[in-house]
Amino acid sequence: MQADDLINLALSLLTNISVLVIISIGLAVIFGMMGIINLAHGEFLMLGAFATLTAVRAGLNIWIAMILAALAVGVFGLIVERLLIRHLYGRLIDSMLATWGLSLILIQGVVLIFGPSTQGIRTPLGDVRIGDYSISQYSLALIVAALVLLAIVFWVFTRTPYGIMARASTQLPSMASAVGINTSRTNMITFAFGSALAGAGGALLAPMAGVVPNMGQAYVARAFMTVVVGGPGVLTGTSAASAFLGSIERVVSSLWAPFFGQAALLLAAIVLLRFMPTGLSGRWGRQL
């Protein structure tokens, strides 16, 4: 095997892992900190993509459009938390059902506004040649973006007052409220932060995937399995699960077909949970 083969293989593996991080980190923050699974997560991704599309069409620079999209979905998440999620704390399955209902409404709402057809954004950046291969610079940017998102999460949860309070509330809710932490407020911020990350994920997907109202369906299963396999550790779990599942998916996809890759990812996840029911980070104690 030549050096350029190896580099190409490594990059495609890393890109695939990064995509998993990008699509699941928002879900992981909400699940890890609040124990809630947002079943409309796929639609939050989709909203991020559409927000990016709209901003780019309005003439904005694509990178600025992506940041705006993340903020917009974050605000949307805040509203959803106040109107819906807040009333369903402690009712885990009910909160899943309500967000599921929300997901149906969002898909159809976007169909009504933007129409059902697939739209696209031109992929920014060009290609780079490595030996015999031509690699899209955008897929390299995705690797950087995944690292940036992880770094943001780390920074928020270790360096901001909110982050420290959020982790305290997760570990011991009763003690947290006893020392005066407003858990309702931290939950609200957590949900908005997770939503913004989902929005950023969708924004990053927009140039490489077709932007279409039901695009969430194509990604959300992988995001679910990444979070479940990762377990409660937001950063450690998500990174480890993305690396594990992303590698399996990539290898199987390139050997057979992409849809076999997804099936293999699912099977690997289910088999792993048989032996580690609380996920990869479940036994590492509660860290980030």
Partner 1 sequence: MSSGTEATTADRKSLAGIVRRLPLEVAGMVVIVVVAALLPAVVPEYQALQWTQWILYGLLALSLTFVWGHAGIFSFGQVAFFGIGGYTYGITAINLINRTGETFSAELAAVVVAALAAAILGYFMFYGKVGDVYVAIITLATTLVLFTFMESTAGPKYAIGQALLGGYNGMTGIPTLSYGWPGSPATPLSVTQTLAIVVGVAGIIAFGLHILLRRPFGRIVAGLRENEDRTQLLGYDIRRYRLIVFIIGGSIAGLAGAGYAAWGMFINPAVFGLQQAALVVIFVLVGGRTSLLGAFVGAILLQSLSTSLGGSDSVLTPIILGGVLIAVVMLLPQGIVPTVSAIAQRLVPQLRPRPPQLPVPTSPPEQLPLPTKSDRASPQSGPLEAIDLRKSFGGLTAVDGVSLTFAPKGVHCLIGPNGAGKSTFFNLLVGRYRPTSGQVIFSGEDITGREPYQRVRQGFGIKLQVASLYTNLTAFENMWLASYANIGNTKAATQRAIEILSWLDLIPQANHLAGTLAHGQRQWLEIGMVLAPEPVIILLDEPTAGMTREETLRTVDLVTLLGKHASVVVVEHDIEFVRQLNVPVTVLHQGRIFAQGGIDELRRDEQVLEIYLGRGGDNVEA
Q: Are 166 and 190 in contact (CB under 8 A)?
A: yes
**What binding mask, one character per residue, do residues 185-224 give for partner 1 by CB under 8 A, x or -?**
-----------------------------x-xxx-xxx-x
CB of 33 vs partner 1, minimal distance in Å:
15
Binding residues for partner 1 restricted to 33-62, rule: CB under 8 A: 35, 37, 39, 42
CB atoms closer than 10 angstroms to residue 246: 23
Binding residues for partner 1 restricted to 143-172, rule: CB under 8 A: none
CB of 101 vs partner 1, minimal distance in Å:
3
Binder among 71, 96, 140, 251 for partner 1 (CB under 8 A): 96
One-letter-per-residue 3-state SS of 81-96: HHHCHHHHCCCHHHHH
Between the CA of residue 39 and those of 30, 98, 240, what are the distances in Å? Answer: 11, 8, 22
Q: Is residue 259 involved in binding partner 1 (CB under 8 A)?
A: yes
For partner 1, give the closer residue by CB, 181 or 232.
232
Q: Residues near 203 by Cβ (< 8 Å), separated by ≥ 6? A: 48, 49, 51, 52, 65, 66, 69, 70
Q: Round to whole Å and give the CA distance between 109 and 86.
A: 23
Binder among 10, 57, 82, 108 for partner 1 (CB under 8 A): 108
- The secondary element (H helix, E strand) that includes residue 208 is none
Residues making contact with partner 1 (CB under 8 A): 35, 37, 39, 42, 84, 87-88, 91-94, 96-98, 100-105, 107-109, 111-112, 214, 216-218, 220-222, 224-225, 227-228, 257-259, 262-263, 265-266, 269-271, 273-275, 277-278, 283-285
